Structure 1
Amino acid sequence: MPAVPQTRAEMRAAREAAEAAEAERIARAAAPADQAAPPAEQPDADAPAADEAAVREAAVREAAAREAAVREAGDREVAEQEAAARKMAAFEVAAREDVEATTLPPVPVAPEPVFVGAAPVAEAEAEAAPTDEAYAPPAPRLRSEEQSTGKPVRSRRFVLTLVAVLGVLVVVGTGLGIASLLQGPRISNVQVDAKQAIESSGSRAILTANQALADIDPSQVTVEPAVPFTVDASGRGIGVRFTVPLDDSTTYTIRVADVVGAGGGPTTTLTTSFETPASNIFLLRRDVDGKDKIFLTDLSGEKAVPVFEHAKINDFRATSTQLVVSVEEDDGSRLLVMDRDGKKQRELKLPGDGYVGAIQVSERGGLVGYSYSDKELSDTEGRASVLVTQSLSGDDDPQIIDVAGAEASVFVWQFVPDSAAVLFIDFDGALSLVDRSSDAGVQSLGLAAMIQGISRGTYTAIIERLDGTVVELNLADGSEEPLAASDPDYGSATSITPFPGGTLRHVVARDESGLPIGQAVVRVDDDGKATPLVEVSSADSILQACASPSGQYAAVVVAPDLANNPYDGMLLPLPEKVETHLIDMVSGEEIVALTGFDASWCQTAPRF
């Protein structure tokens, strides 16, 4: 057992007790000495007094010497106990420093891992141990055991931290999973190409939920503002396909009601919104004294930018990514394809040396179509107005459409919107349909005098038959019904352009003798209600009326002061001065009048 240090008071009391005990022992020793002398040898009464005094003095000196020895022994014991107390205090200080050093070791940052084994605790104990062998240090702590193994403490801390983090993640993940089940399905992602949605039909909005869903019925889905759509859903996804183009600068909201997870649970309503961008259009501006230019402009006309110019631009069409331009050269036509900014131009191969007209594009089919006539043409030789289609990429050769094995000369034709099918009338008046994406061959649809237009998303064409009646022809099954008159009835229309929700009809007012006294473009809704949008006098002429893809706007081409407005000498001859009036079809107000024609909203060029 190690010596237990005493306080100063305890050491002083011990020393006094030792001195008292020693004095008592000396007194007991002196008394018998006086009584031990034999009586026979006692001196006589007259012995000198000096001898007795000497004896007493010697006894006092001996007692004093013994007292000094006792005091010295007590002082030595006190010194030893104080030294032991100092050693204990120094050991406690060293122990505290060791705890601090091992509990919070400095971790130097090194470019590469440096592993330094901890020094064995035996060395530290050898330095801190007291020199007194009777003193035994306290038992080693757990920290010293870890150091004696040589394993870095840092590794254990990393493991403990990793386990703690994983535990927290498991708890959080479990909590989120439980919360998800309690809250029902939620939208985790939405995909929609808003720019594409205003330019063509068939765009999609895809809603992705955070869990697999039970079956979705189309009646659960609503879109505001109202627009035709179809629904397909599977797993976590809900697809909403818009069958017609959307309006520009409009916020659309999709709601899916009573949605439940595939494994059951609470129902919820999924809601998302997106905004469509503002529209812009391409226009062709001819200049008899300079170069013709194609401009890209917003609907205000204030941000018009020229993207392509050439001495003679006959016609052009635009897709969402490309422009197709027909230009005139001295030796015939050239057909160019380029990006919408006019860059990366490349020339498409033609069937021969000749002229191109009536350009149209099928974005869904990736095709361009046009009528082609050989430059060398006579009554017995050459091709006249044959219908040609080819890939916009230029990877294939031009394909001439034939009927019954013979190349057909085509009077008028149109691509069916959102497909690779072609509807045309040949010089014999036969109306035919052929799908360039299949080998189904030519489908005969009777006789016709004019193709007025084809509705987007409905596969319905407006056809003028040889007897002058105008019908809506279902191209899928060949059925037809008369086109309903407008209310009020503005009479027969010289051209009819369908758009989602109605038609634009170009009508001519005549006097009793049949001479034109004015013209107008009338909007006729599906229910027959008619609203005039543009009216001109007999001095001006309306050349074409087109609708924006969604039917939100109308572009009406007007040739002012026709008597003093000569035609140019192009393959597609038009008055030198033409204007395109942009109309808001909801309010009926004119937005702006721009110089130029051939708005990219139009499927075909103006007819003359």
Structure 2
Amino acid sequence: MSHISISAPPPEAANSMRSFRRTFVLTSVILVVLCGIFLALGYLQGPKLSSAQVDADAVVTSSDQTLRLFANQAIAAVDPAAVTVEPAIDATASSEGDLISVQFGQALDYNTEYTVSVEGVTTLSGGPESTLTYSFTTGEPELYYLDRGEPNDEIIRTGLTSQDRTVVFAGVGIQEFIPVGDVVAFTTAAADRTGTLTLANPDTGVTEQVLLPEAGEVADLDATRSGSLLGFTISSEDPGPIPTISHTLYTVDLDRGRDVVAVNDLDGEPMRVTGWQFVPGTAEIVAVTTESTLVRVDTTTGLIIPLGGYFDFDRVSADGSTAIVNDTTGSAAVTLADGTEVRLHPSRIDGEQPFIGQTDADADGNLVAKMVLVGETGATFSSVLAFDNGEESRVLYQTVGDKGAILDFEVSPNNQFVAVEVQPNVATLDSDQYVMNPRPQSTTTYLVEIATGAVTRSVEGFGAVWR
């Protein structure tokens, strides 16, 4: 019989094993203690900001934009009023899980650093409160305009502060233009006013002419601010007693091809309009029909909502809240959400009562408008662009020596600036004599800050489009 003998480990091995066990136990205890310390510190300090998301370009275009703040752990519901923004604007906060959503009450200013703070943030189990803070700088828009000249007319893109001048497209006889998606749409007109609609791609240099359903004047171009929907009207040169086409409104979705589709009226027939525009930031249309009805049209569903009886269309406000229209008693701002009407009566300028013309009215009732001041004798008058807060009006722009004329204006999407189209001196007859949409050759567009009335820059051209 064999015997198996088990010998004891040498003393050195036993000591090594005991040392390992002591080290392991000690390390485990230290790790537990450290975890406890870190947990205690986290509890004592409260939640922290781990990341944030915001579209710096979108926040300057509309009032429905959101900043998302992510905490390092799940948090309790925050007070909607616990958010502050510097520079000060209205904002509200809501939370779910580790996310705090801050919704801004208005479009933000261009090229501005904002600091957002949410106070009183705690974990789900309570504990100390903390404040989550995040700073970001907003973007600024591109501005397009048309500079007519020899040998070509030029569609120009520039910045709000930059002096860079990029020629997007150059061609002969451009009547109107509008950027849409990756292209620029523009119209030309023959001597008989028969028009063409052309698409130009600035990146490739490729142009294509859109096949139109009828021959006639092509005008009133507009496009959705984002997306690919383009709209325009076609009018017969001589519509006759029973016109087949007269100021008929059409759209074409460039992402889906080149099919030109008539917008239908309440009776199911093609809609004929005296004026129209896309609601900024949407694919909805607002128009005054030749039947003197203000309508809002959902281009997706075809739903048409009548908003009242008016015979003339001015514009949809830059913030998309109202339509400015006219009837036999004057001008009105119609709220697009419910059709509520507010008659427009301008406030006094330095004690004088002005007469109101073209107007932009935001959701708060503030007006940017062309106004005329008549001298005491009635023999002189001044044409100005003014801002009216409902209590008083102040001049934003007035031509030097009242020698010029304010031809048109376009408020920026965030209501911070206005592009003012000016003829510096009406005594000089310098029309470019275009068949449609003629302009003085001296037309200059000034960018004016609405809050201060400061002119920030000027460009030689007209038809300003904010994008």
Task: Please report the TM-score for the alignment, with normalisation by the length of structure 1.
Answer: 0.65
Q: Which runs of 5+ in 2 are unaligned?
A: 1-8, 15-19
| Mapped contact 2:358–2:370 kept (Cα < 8 A) | yes
Does residue 277 of structure 1 match 2:142? Answer: no
Q: Which of residues 443, 446, 456 is equivalent to 1:581?
A: 446
Does residue 308 of structure 1 match 2:169? Answer: yes
Q: Which of residues 326, 333, 343 is equivalent to 2:186?
A: 326
Aligned-residue RMSD, C-alpha: 3.6
Per-residue deviation, 1:196: 2.7
| Mapped contact 1:580–1:596 kept (Cα < 8 A) | yes
Listed as ranges, the matches of 1:192-591 within 5 Å are 192-287=54-149, 289-300=150-161, 302-318=163-179, 322-328=182-188, 332-336=195-199, 338=201, 350-363=212-225, 366-373=228-235, 378-380=240-242, 382-395=244-257, 397-403=259-265, 404-439=267-302, 441-457=303-319, 459-468=321-330, 470-488=331-349, 490-499=353-362, 502-510=366-374, 517-525=381-389, 527-536=390-399, 539-562=403-426, 563-591=428-456
| Mapped contact 2:176–2:221 kept (Cα < 8 A) | yes
Q: Secondary structure at the match of 2:43?
A: helix
Identity of aligned residues (%): 28
Q: Secondary structure at the match of 1:437?
A: coil
Does residue 183 of structure 1 match 2:51? Answer: no
In structure 2, what is the Cα distance between the partners aligned to 1:413 and 1:343? 30
Q: Secondary structure at the match of 2:175?
A: strand
Higher relative contact order, structure no. (Cα contacts within 8 Å, ≥ 6 residues apart): 2
In structure 1, what is the Cα distance between the partners aligned to 2:218 and 2:109? 33
| Mapped contact 1:365–1:437 kept (Cα < 8 A) | no
Query: CA separation of 1:260/1:345 partners in 2, compared to 1, >3 Å: closer, same or farther?
Result: farther
Q: Secondary structure at the match of 2:176?
A: strand
Q: Which amino acid aligns with 1:424?
A: A
Query: CA separation of 1:268/1:285 partners in 2, compared to 1, >3 Å: closer, same or farther?
Result: same
User: Greater strand percent: which structure?
Assistant: 2
Q: Secondary structure at the match of 2:123?
A: coil
Q: Which amino acid aligns with 1:253?
A: T
Q: Secondary structure at the match of 1:412?
A: strand
Task: Please report the TM-score for the alignment, with normalisation by the length of structure 2.
Answer: 0.82
Per-residue deviation, 1:378: 4.9
Q: Which amino acid aligns with 1:532?
A: V
Q: How many residues align?
A: 445
Per-residue deviation, 1:599: 1.4
Query: CA separation of 1:139/1:593 partners in 2, compared to 1, >3 Å: closer, same or farther?
Result: closer
In structure 1, what is the Cα distance between the partners aligned to 2:304 and 2:12? 97
In structure 2, what is the Cα distance between the partners aligned to 1:371 and 1:225? 43
Query: CA separation of 1:491/1:569 partners in 2, compared to 1, >3 Å: closer, same or farther?
Result: same
Aligned to 1:99: none
Query: CA separation of 1:279/1:170 partners in 2, compared to 1, >3 Å: closer, same or farther?
Result: farther
Deviations 1:47-97 (A, max 9, x none): xxxxxxxxxxxxxxxxxxxxxxxxxxxxxxxxxxxxxxxxxxxxxxxxxxx
Deviations 1:515-572 (A, max 9, x none): 76331111112x4331112113564221112222222222110123334212431432
In structure 2, what is the Cα distance between the partners aligned to 1:418 and 1:256? 28
Q: Which amino acid aligns with 1:472?
A: A
Q: Which amino acid aligns with 2:372?
A: V
Per-residue deviation, 1:349: 5.2
User: Greater helix percent: which structure?
Assistant: 1
| Mapped contact 2:251–2:262 kept (Cα < 8 A) | yes
Per-residue deviation, 1:305: 2.0
| Mapped contact 1:201–1:456 kept (Cα < 8 A) | no
Deviations 1:336-382 (A, max 9, x none): 1646x676766655434544211112235652221123578555454
